[in-house]
Every structure is written in C-alpha cells, then in structure tokens.
C-alpha cells in the first residue's frame, strides 16, 4: 500500500515537466495527509535533488492548541533537513464570511507571497476531500465548473501551479502510510464538529451513502472528472467566441462590450460573463452567484450610453463604462496624507493606478509630492486650450467616474500637477517652471496592467 501511494504521488510530479532549480512548496498542515505529502516529497527529493524544496506551515490560531501543534510539527519536520517557514497568520473575517473560508483565503494569499512566480505548490487534499467538495457544490446548486470539484493540477497566479498529488488516495490509505512510516501528525478535534458542513458530510452523510452504495465514492469522482472535461471544452469554445470581442483599457484591463452579449441567448450571455470575469481576474476571484450573474446580465442588456451600472460581488464590482463591462476591485489603496517624494525611484499609487518612476531631474525642479486631496479651481493644459476642473480633465482623459476620486496627482512646486492619463496641468498663467522642463523630466508610468 505504501509503495502504491508513493508511486501515484511520483507519477503526478513527473507529469509536471519541472525545470532544474524550480521551486516545490509543500503546504504543510498538521494532519496525516499533509505529513504524508511531506514524506513523499522528501522521498522524491532523494532522486530529484535539482529542484528547490520549501515546507510552509501557516498557523491562523483558530484552535487554542494551534501554537503547541505548530511547535510539535516543526520539531518533527527537522529530521528531513528541508528549508521551512513556520509563521502565524492574522486572519480578518469579513461580515457574512465563515472563519474557515477567511482562513483558507489568507493561507493562499501568504503562499503566493512566499513562492516563486513559477513555483509548484503541493496541497494535501485527498479522495475523501474531493467527494466532500463535490457534495458541497451540489448543495450550492453549482454547474459543471463547481461540480468539477478540485483539479489535480490547477494554474494559479503568474506561472504558479497548485498540485494535489494525493487526490486519488483515500484517507484510509493515507493513515496506513503514515503509520507504516511512523510519521508524526495531529488529530484536530474540530474535525469532528458536525456543525461544520464538511464534517457533517464526512461523518454523517458519506458513510451512510457508501453503506447503501459501496461504489458511491467512485461514482462521485467519475462525475467530477466528466464535469471537468465538459467545463474544459466549454471554456475553449467560449474563449474562441470572446477572442475577437474583448477590449482593453490601461486602467481597467479587459472589458466585455455590451454588444457582444446582445446577439446571444440568455444561457450564452451568462457563460460569456462568467468566463470574462475569470479571464480578467486570472481566475483568482470567486465567480458571481446566479442572482448576481443575472443582475449583471440584465443590466448590461438594458444599458445605454449614460448607464451607471454597479453590481457588487465578493471581491469586486462590475461596472458599465462606454458600453462595456469592467471588473474593478472593491478595495482600493487610498492615500490618506500627501506623500513627499525626496528620492528618485518607484512610487506606489492607489489601485489600480500602478506606480511611477520619478527621476532626479524632476526632483531638481522643485518639491515633489503625491497629493491626498484634489485642489479646487480650474487648470490649464500646456498643449490644449481652455481651463477646466480636475474632474473635467480626468473625464476627458477617459478616467471612469468611480476612479476619479482616487486618481493620483503628482505636484511639482506650487503650480504644476501631473496625472498619468491627463499629463501636466497648471494653476497659473505664468508659471515659474516652464512646461518644456517638466516634459523632459516626466515620470515613467507603469499601470497595473503593464
């Protein structure tokens, strides 16, 4: 049994076609599954020493004994002589968000921060987890994508991949492996709290189903694989349809024109919107619920040039601007105080404005600062006629209304302002610093989309 489990683990990693020196990160929990994952990875390392291995344990302190557990696990891992990161996590739980979901999101965020752009991140989910996930998605009324449950290999941020080498291995097999290899693991008593949905399925529902239908688990896995296959085909077809339709905006990323929806039936409209949201966010945000999706679809179909649409989902808002749909992050970095720029280099701007590269030649012209509050009055543009308010200049530069308040302004001296899309603006008729001098020293703008 032990060799069979390791052989399946090894086959999954061999299919990844890893490059020399590529990073393999083991997401390390305290259970028998993640300890089995670690042990298999260390066996794999003996024959594959050209990769870089890192074990990461993140403690969100949900259990009163979690610090003791972390220390115990850290001591057990020392025998492998592998690079490790053991650290506590601060988890902020949003309203109407479960503690478990918040902890999971924070762990994934930290794994992203600790890993290379092309890292392979190994997760310990197994066959039983897959069955539970399928049933949870079924209860939520999910379609093929949700019922696909968890993928064995899943593309993630940049070129990272989330890999689940134990996904076809049962919990019983994992316990047998862990006992045979005398691994150290923690039995978390909260795993028996059936008030938690996953635990209720694990202890009360699935055993009953498998008692009545012994092949139930195999049937669930087969259905999940079929749904994943159907979803892959659907995404390829939708991508072909979207290819010629999507438009780009330097601040907003990929936009979906309303006209691209109107010539299709309701089901295709929903499919196009779902896939567009996935693509514009690199698949790292949750898809809208059916009700949210219908709200987006119906408002988009009815949109006119002056429509001010705003549908808020979990981590983002869908807007309509210039007869196209755009995804915008709910939380934007705001500058609470003006920031003086004293040295050349990169300056971070409010999201999604990216950053600026400020040169020494610009600093030599006068005091430079990023303003927290927009000055009032009307401003002149050295290359255009007339004077306008800042809001009017931003509107003319095609800055969407919901981003104008956070639009960054670089101030040079007392007379000049600069915005990446607007350019230079002056509040006086005869400035001390000539426009030509500023234009030669203009900052380099790197938008979030660059």
Q: In the numeric block, which tokens belong to residue 381?
A: 């543009």
| Angstrom distances, CA of residue 334 to CA of 42, 102, 331, 339 | 45, 23, 9, 12
- For the chain, where do the domains classified as CATH 1.20.59 start and end? 247-329
Look up residue 391 and give its two tokens. 């809001």
Return the pLDDT at 2: 58
Output the pLDDT for position 229: 94
pLDDT on residue 429: 75
> What pLDDT sits at residue 95?
67
What is the structure's pLDDT at 308? 86
Nearby residues of 46 by Cβ (< 8 Å), 6 or more positions away: none
Which strand (E) or helix (H) includes residue 411?
A: strand 410-412
Cα(97)–Cα(105) distance, rounded to whole angstroms?
11
State how beta strands 52-59 and 316-321 pair. unpaired
CATH topology of domain 2-226: Rossmann fold (3.40.50)
Mean pLDDT confidence for 326-332: 72
Burial of 371 (0-12, 13-18, 19+ CB in 10 A): middle
- On the CB side of 429, CA atoms within 13 Å amount to 1
CATH classification (class only), 247-329: mainly alpha
pLDDT tier at 335, thresholds 50, 70, 90: low
What is the pLDDT at residue 354? 86
Q: What confidence score (pLDDT) does residue 284 get?
A: 61
pTM to 2 decimal places: 0.73
Between 165 and 186, the higher pLDDT residue: 165
Share of the chain above pLDDT 90, in %: 61
At residue 203 the predicted structure's pLDDT band, cuts being 50, 70 and 90, is very high
Residues of the chain with CATH 3.40.50.620: 2-226
Cα torsion angle, 216, 220, 226, 227, sign: positive
Region 379-408: mean pLDDT is 89
- Summarised one tens digit per residue, pLDDT across range 283-301 is 666 788 889 999 999 999 9
Looking at residues 70-91, what average pLDDT do you find?
90
Taking residues 375-398, report their average pLDDT.
90
The contacts of residue 435 (CB under 8 Å, 6+ apart) are 382, 424, 426
pLDDT(332) > 70? no
Q: Give per-residue pLDDT as tens, 396-428.
A: 999 998 888 888 899 998 889 999 999 999 988
């Amino acid at each position: 049994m032990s060799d069979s489990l390791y052989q399946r683990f090894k086959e999954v990693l061999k299919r990844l076609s890893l490059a020399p020196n590529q990073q393999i990160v083991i997401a390390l929990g305290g259970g028998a599954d993640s300890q089995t994952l670690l042990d298999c990875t260390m066996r794999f390392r003996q024959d594959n020493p050209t990769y870089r291995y890192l074990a990461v344990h993140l403690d969100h302190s949900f259990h009163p004994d979690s610090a003791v557990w972390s220390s115990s696990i850290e001591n057990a891992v020392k025998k492998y002589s592998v690079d490790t990161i053991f650290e506590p996590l601060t988890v902020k739980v949003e309203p109407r968000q479960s503690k478990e979901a918040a902890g999971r999101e924070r762990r994934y965020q930290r794994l992203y921060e600790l890993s290379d752009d092309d890292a392979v991140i190994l997760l310990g989910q197994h066959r039983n987890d897959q069955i539970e996930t399928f049933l949870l998605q079924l209860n939520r009324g999910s379609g093929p994508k949700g019922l696909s449950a968890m993928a064995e290999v899943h593309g993630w941020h940049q070129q990272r991949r989330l890999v689940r080498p134990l996904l076809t291995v049962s919990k019983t097999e994992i316990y047998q492996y862990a006992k045979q290899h005398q691994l150290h693991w923690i039995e978390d008593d909260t795993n028996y709290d059936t008030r938690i949905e996953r635990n209720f399925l694990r202890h009360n529902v699935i055993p009953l189903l498998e008692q009545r239908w012994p092949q139930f688990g195999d049937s669930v896995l087969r259905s999940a694989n079929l749904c994943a296959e159907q979803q892959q085909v659907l995404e390829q077809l939708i991508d072909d349809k979207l290819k010629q339709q999507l438009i780009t905006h330097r601040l907003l990323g990929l936009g979906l024109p309303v006209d691209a929806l109107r010539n299709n039936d309701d089901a295709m409209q929903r499919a196009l919107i779902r896939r567009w949201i996935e693509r514009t966010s690199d698949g790292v945000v949750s898809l809208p619920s059916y009700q949210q999706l219908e709200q987006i679809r119906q408002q988009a179909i009815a949109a006119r040039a002056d429509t001010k649409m705003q549908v808020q989902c979990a981590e983002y808002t869908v807007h309509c601007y210039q007869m196209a749909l755009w995804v915008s992050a709910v939380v934007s970095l705001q500058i609470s105080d003006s920031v003086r720029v004293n040295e050349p280099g990169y300056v971070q701007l409010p999201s999604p404005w990216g950053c600026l590269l400020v040169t020494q030649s610009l600093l030599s012209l006068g005091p430079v600062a990023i303003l927290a509050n927009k000055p009032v009055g009307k401003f002149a543009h050295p290359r255009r006629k007339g004077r306008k308010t800042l809001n009017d200049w931003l509107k003319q530069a095609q800055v969407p209304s919901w981003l104008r308040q956070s639009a960054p302004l670089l101030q040079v001296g007392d007379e000049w302002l600069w915005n990446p899309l607007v350019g230079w603006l002056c509040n006086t008729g005869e400035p001390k610093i000539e426009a030509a001098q500023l234009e030669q020293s203009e900052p380099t703008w790197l938008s979030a989309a660059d």
